[in-house]
Structure 1
Amino acid sequence: MKSHSSTLLAEVRTFRQNHPDVRYVDLISLDIPGRFYGKRYPVEMLEKVAAGSPLKLPQNAVLLGAQGGLFKIGDYCFHDGDPDANRRLVPGTLKPVSWEAQPLGQMLITSDGTEAPIEFEPREVLAKVLERLHRKGIHPVVAFELEFYLFDKKLNDGLPQFARDPLSDDPDDQPTLHIERLSRFAPVLDDMVQTAQAQGIDITVVTAELGPGQFEINFGHLDDGLRAADWAALFCRSTRGVALKHGYRASFMAKPYLQHPGSGMHVHVSLYDAAGNNLLAAHQQQPLRHAVAGCLALLPHCMPIFSPNHNAFRRLGGTVNAATKACWGYEDRDACVRIPESDPRNLRIEHRLASADANPYLVLAAILVGLEHGLDAAQEPIAPLNEDRNSGHDFPLEMLEAVRAMQQQPVLREGLGAGFVDVYCENKRQDHLAFQQEINAREYRWYL
């Protein structure tokens, strides 16, 4: 059997043979706000890393705020000497980058699986949750769906402009939910799909959504939760790059227009045992109801993960298919937790609350902890929306309240790690306060 390093080395050497014009490879990882950070390595140096040479980056790079700055969080950042931490290459993720001006490659790196993982790295948080579930004999199968908008490449006084439709510049003339809009934007959409597939991502369905220039991409179902989240993260990166190449700006911003629907991250999750039996379908679907109850119980405490910034909270309530309470229902898109119609083998939940710009590793980790909590507690959920349209638990609708609700929740602290919860909540608190440090024109109009 080949060793781990020899397999990686073979991957790098095969890549070099297939892409002899590539001189550099971007080694990338997702930070807490869901942005990539990393280093650009000469491809010959990548061979040394694959062969076992250490790969180190600053530990605190994971803690960057939304604008890239560092906040004082406990003893991190300004009182720890800014130490390096080991990372490893993620096998199977070395792929060509086709949207840059020069030939490049990219490869995911992570601290999970190293001798000293970073407890607040998003991928490590998810890895620990999945490992715990596997020890319990629970094997999730996961599929992400992501909504996004296309805008014109150029902003107008800092504001987004509608994507230029080849047939009309009038945003009201863009057919919503129409197959025709897929045809109008076919060149850029086809390139996005082909580029994602070149990254190893299984794209299944492309849909024109309700907003002007809004689309949804569905990914295939995977029995590897880490890989499913990798796909969501990598798709956002490649899609932004491809859009710029075509003269557009792709954005996963949660609520770019007040008058149009926001963009969400929908996550389908089913749970199987080692023999491949659907755990949610057993005993007349009683485990499904328990899992739903657990998700709903923890949902109000997970809002800083599902709505990770000020704009994401704007998406909640008052728009199409965006819930205002922690609720569930069968075939009901107004519910946070929807149960799609399916046969027992494919019975699953669809978690619909997270915004498209949320961190996919953390969203999936929070959902799984909710499902786990529900199976352990074995309690019945509140009435579904199909029986009571007013059913549901309230959840926080602004960041500081949401952070307070998250930080002291004992099940989350145990399920996601107390160290992670403290670091994440402080990161979100500081990011929100930094965002508020600007007086906008409306304040002068109202209060001057």
Structure 2
Amino acid sequence: MKSQSATLLAEVRTFRQHHPDVRYVDLIALDIPGHFYGKRYPIEMLEKVAAGSPLKLPQNAVLLGAQGGLFKIGDYCFHDGDPDANRRLVPGTLKPVSWESQPLGQMLITSDGTEAPIEFEPREVLAKVLQRLHHKGIHPVVAFELEFYLFDKTLDHGLPQFAHDPLSDDADDQPTLHIDRLSRFSGVLNDMAQTAKDQGIDITVITAELGPGQFEINFGHLDDGLRAADWAALFCRSTRGVALKHGYRASFMAKPYLQYPGSGMHVHVSLYDGAGNNLLAAHQQQPLRHAVAGCLELLPHCMPIFSPNHNAFRRLGGTVNAATRACWGFEDRDACVRIPDSDPRNLRIEHRLASADANPYLVLAAILAGLEHGLDAQREPIAPLNEDRNSGADFPLDMLDAVRTMQQHASVRDKLGAEFVDVYCENKRQDHLAFQQEINAREYRWFL
């Protein structure tokens, strides 16, 4: 503990030397819907926290709904006295914030690793899954890919407007995969990439996607699953900030346009033993098939994680590369679980179902739980799409059905934690019901 305090203290002091104009640091963590909450600390107080002073925030901040309100979930929120819970600083995450008008820093905090972790905190859920895998001698290597849209900064009566091409000032309203869009939007994209790198994130490939104003950014592969999910979360925060600075809105909304492709969160996962051997490639890739079978078996029971809101379910089916059934395939982007072509050393799965606005900690936890389930059960998967285009298992396509399916599944409760599953499902159910409490214009047109 003393050595960690010394490391954190050195990190804070080094940051202060390099950024003497920074007076405040945002201490932030991801809640259940995938939004950051936290507090803004004077840099002097941060140094005291790094040295060992307590860091406490309300436990129930993790339970916030999509709009920031609290729901009654068991005894939480309204019958527990709203207790504080200890948090700790995440080493290596103290970085400058360049998209604000004033100099600022930010640093991740978490309850995992404290004496009493919050069982339903997303980072703690992932930490438990990773710890269990490590005890079994399984070491995941992970890489995220995130798609997002750029919109004009100004909304039109609450509706998004196409981003304007900075060279022609015309709306970028045509779907295209052309690389010249990367050149036309190079100012904002380069700033996003550089800002992410300043946050310690390894940005690799940038792609112009099919939707108008849609892009994808890939991250490097990491042998630290928590850090990989940290990168995905921090990238969303910095990208939104940089976009506003350039006169755009960046959104990871799953399906902003019905007529264009949605935005996904693709996660590449390979599994290694302690000696660095790829476990999926052993025994003529039989473990790969078992892992795929486990992923597909748990997938229908984790839909509230992969599609965390009403809009995210709109993304499934009807457009490019978005499945409506649990399926897999070799080099097949129509599959939920794709096996990219690779050598045995880099053999991996690419999980393509999650929406871009899903919680990265929970998405990775659910994927790893599926892989673990498959390796333990050692069952054969259904036929890949390469052999049968109709292959696949049904999964829920609306939130209330998805919540019921998740909450009752014994393996999901065991691998992700029963307390987390109950809290998460009730949070999603309440969010969905709250979303329904508004009559829109179409309803009046149809039924008035």
TM bucket normalised to smaller: over 0.9
Q: Provide the secondary structure at the position in 1 that maps to 2:151.
A: strand
Using the TM superposition, give the Cα deviation of residue 288 of structure 1 relative to its aligned residue in structure 2, in angstroms: 0.1
Structure-to-structure mapping, 1:188-337, within 5 angstroms: 188-337=188-337
SS, match of residue 287 in structure 1: helix
CA-CA distance at 1:167 after TM superposition: 3.6
Asked if the contact 1:175–1:181 (Cα under 8 Å) also holds between the matched residues in 2, the reply is no
Report the Cα distance in structure 1 between the residues aligned to 2:190 and 2:97, rounded to whole angstroms.
16
Q: Distance in 2 between matches of 1:173 and 1:296?
A: 36
Instruction: Within 5 Å, give how 1:3-402 maps onto structure 2.
Output: 3-168=3-168, 170-171=170-171, 174=174, 176-402=176-402
Post-superposition Cα deviations, 1:3-32, rounded to whole Å, max 9, x if no partner, equal 110110000000000000000000000000
Whole-angstrom CA distance in 1 between matches of 2:305 and 2:447:
33
Q: Displacement, 1:172?
A: 6.4
Aligned-pair distance for 1:126? 0.1
SS of the counterpart of 1:361?
Answer: helix
Q: Is the 8 A contact 1:141 1:223 kept in 2?
A: yes
Distance 2:349 2:4 in 1: 35
- Secondary structure, counterpart of 1:173 in structure 2: coil
Q: Cα deviations across residues 315-347 of structure 1 (Å, max 9, x unaligned)?
A: 001100000100000000000000000000000
Distance 1:2 1:410 in 2: 40
Matches of 2:205 and 2:175, distance apart in 1: 18
Could you tell me how far apart the structure 2 residues matched to 1:442 and 1:207 are? 36
Return the offset for 1:177. Answer: 1.1
Calculate percent identity across the aligned residue pairs: 90
Report the 3-state secondary structure (helix = DSSP H, G, I; strand = E; otherwise coil) of the residue aligned with 1:41.
strand
1:22/1:168 Cα in 2 relative to 1: closer, same or farther (>3 Å)?
Answer: same
CA distance in 1, matches of 2:96, 2:368: 32
Give the TM-score of the pair, scaled to structure 1: 0.99
CA shift, 1:176, in A, is: 1.2
- Number of corresponding residues: 448
Deviation track 1:231-286 (CA, whole Å, cap 9, x = no partner) reads 00000000000000000000000000000000000000000000000000000000
Stretch moving more, 308-317 or 163-172: 163-172
Tell me the secondary structure at the aligned position of residue 411 of structure 2.
helix
In structure 1, the gaps of 5 or more residues are: none
Greater shift after overlay, 159-168 or 170-179?
A: 170-179
Equivalent residue of 1:169, what SS? coil
Q: CA offsets per residue over residues 92-117 of structure 1, 9 Å max, x none?
A: 00000000000000000000000000
- The 8 Å contact of residues 153 and 247 in structure 1, kept in 2 or not, is answered as yes
Contact 2:173/2:213, CA 8 A, preserved across alignment: no
Maintained 8 Å contact 1:292/1:371 = yes
8 Å Cα contact 1:171/1:212 also seen in 2 = no
Q: Aligned in 2, Cα 1:168/1:260: closer, same or farther, shift over 3 Å? A: farther
**What secondary structure sits across from 2:325 in the alignment?**
coil
Q: Is the 8 A contact 1:289 1:380 kept in 2?
A: yes
Deviation at 1:168, TM superposition (A): 4.1
User: The residue matched to 2:2 in structure 1 has which SS?
Assistant: coil
User: 1:303, 1:279 → 2: CA distance?
Assistant: 27
- CA displacement at 1:151 relative to structure 2: 0.2
Q: Is the 8 A contact 2:57 2:86 kept in 1?
A: yes
Name the SS of the counterpart of 2:425 in structure 1: helix
Contact 1:165 1:174 (8 Å CA) reproduced: no
Cα RMSD (Å) of the superposition?
1.0
Deviations 1:124-174 (A, max 9, x none): 000000000000000000000000000000000000000011244555664
Residues 162 and 172 in structure 2, CA contact (< 8 A), matched pair in contact too: no
Quick one: distance in 1 between partners of 2:171 and 2:371? 41
Contact (CA 8 Å) 2:165, 2:172: kept in 1 or not? no
Q: Give the SS at the match of 1:124.
A: helix
Closer, same or farther: CA 258–403 of 1 in aligned 2, 3 Å? same
- Change in Cα spacing, 1:157 to 1:363, as seen in structure 2 (3 Å) is same
**Structure 2 unaligned residues grouped into runs of 5+:** none
TM-score for the superposition, normalised by structure 2: 0.99
